[in-house]
């Protein structure tokens, strides 16, 4: 059972999720993230699904060195402690269930990626075997001209939305300022914490500044629309570990709250900015799909 979002957050994800691509692509690219020499075994589109038998499949084994020693990570699968993991359940304070339903296991007892083959077995750089849960806050405002009127696309006449984007330190790609759900943390807390850390630099704030940031974010994040809940085509995914997320849109329609936040890059972000939403966007993982859903929801330019 997943941590529920508060009643102030409207869930449209069941309608929206069908528009996010089912065939993962980014997690079949090489080299594997944060490496220069780990090449995935090539997986053609027609061999992605586990339902297609493929005896010639020989995925590369890779788990980042030292990952098992991290306090937030699972033990190695050869470790005796691995057997105690309660997959497909709430395991202590850890949610090991998947938004995709019950996941299956390989003959070696490893969780199988519900979207199919990726060309790599092991965990890669991910901490958890099976689903690794994240939360992505999509903070938006209308782009305004000097007179305070909404800027319209010259061709379609639709208003232009902007969202808070960060440039990731690990890949250099622009992205939504989201992150991993900590053990025992609910999604709402993660949404607030990650936005505060990456877009408002709360990690280096004084206690007084932090108090002001927390209050401001609490007030602004009271009402949101859940855009997507499910699997993410993340370049870190492997056959045995994958990313899932809850993406929530917090929109400042008037421009007197979120739109005025003093953006400062922090934590895993090396830059932060308000970015115009359009079909030209190139973003990390499945983030472009989520932004498109927001544009459709707000009847904005895409």
In this predicted model, what pLDDT tens digit does every residue of 130-178 receive, in sequence order?
999 999 999 999 999 999 999 999 999 999 999 999 898 888 899 999 8
In this predicted model, what pLDDT tens digit does every residue of 70-108 receive, in sequence order?
999 999 999 999 999 999 999 999 999 999 999 999 999
Query: Alpha carbon of 48 to those of 80, 168, 233: distances in Å?
Result: 31, 28, 13
∠ CA 97-180-300, rounded to 5°:
100
Task: Tell me which residue of 1, 245, 231, 246 sits closest to 116, measured CA to CA.
Answer: 231
Query: Alpha carbon of 196 to those of 47, 204, 215, 274, 299: distances in Å?
Result: 41, 11, 11, 15, 27
Question: What secondary structure does DSSP assign to 51-78, as a single string?
Answer: TS--TT--PEEEE-TTGGGSTTSPPPTT
**How many Å separate Cα 209 from the centre of its chain?**
27
The whole-model pTM stands at: 0.87
Which residues are within 8 A (CB) of 174 and not within 5 positions of it... i.e. 6 or more apart?
Answer: 165, 166, 167, 168, 275, 281, 282, 283, 284
Which residues are within 8 A (CB) of 279 and not within 5 positions of it... i.e. 6 or more apart?
Answer: 292, 302
Q: What is the pLDDT of residue 225?
A: 93
Q: Which domains does the chain have, with CATH numbers?
A: 9-297 (3.90.79.10)
pLDDT, mean over the chain? 90
Question: Exposed, middle or buried: residue 2 (CB in 10 Å: 0-12, 13-18, 19+)?
Answer: middle
């Amino acid at each position: 059972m997943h941590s529920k979002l508060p009643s102030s957050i409207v869930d449209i994800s069941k309608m929206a999720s069908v528009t996010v691509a089912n065939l993962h692509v980014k997690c079949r690219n090489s080299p594997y993230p944060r490496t220069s020499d780990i090449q995935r075994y090539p997986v053609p589109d027609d061999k992605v699904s586990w339902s297609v038998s493929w005896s010639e499949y020989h995925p590369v084994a890779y788990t980042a060195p030292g990952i098992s020693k991290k306090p937030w990570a699972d033990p190695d699968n050869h470790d005796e402690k691995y057997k105690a993991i309660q997959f497909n359940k709430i395991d202590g304070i850890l949610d090991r269930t998947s938004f995709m339903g019950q996941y299956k296991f390989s003959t070696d007892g490893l969780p199988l990626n519900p979207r199919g083959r990726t060309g790599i077995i092991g965990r890669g750089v991910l901490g958890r075997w099976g689903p690794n849960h994240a939360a992505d806050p999509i903070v938006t405002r209308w782009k305004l001209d000097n007179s305070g009127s909404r800027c319209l696309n010259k061709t379609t006449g639709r208003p232009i939305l902007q969202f808070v984007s960060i440039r990731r330190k690990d890949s250099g790609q622009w992205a939504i300022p989201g992150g991993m759900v900590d053990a025992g943390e609910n999604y709402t807390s993660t949404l607030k914490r990650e936005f505060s850390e990456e877009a408002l630099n709360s990690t280096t704030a004084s206690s007084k500044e932090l108090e002001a940031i927390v209050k401001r974010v609490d007030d602004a994040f009271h009402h949101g629309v859940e855009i997507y809940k499910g699997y993410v085509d993340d370049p870190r995914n492997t056959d045995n570990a994958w990313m899932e997320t809850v993406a929530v849109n917090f929109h400042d329609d008037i421009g007197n709250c979120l739109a005025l936040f003093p953006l400062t890059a922090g934590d895993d972000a090396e830059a932060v900015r308000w970015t115009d939403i359009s079909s030209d966007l190139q973003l990390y993982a499945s983030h472009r799909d989520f932004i498109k859903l927001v544009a459709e929801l707000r009847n904005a330019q895409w």
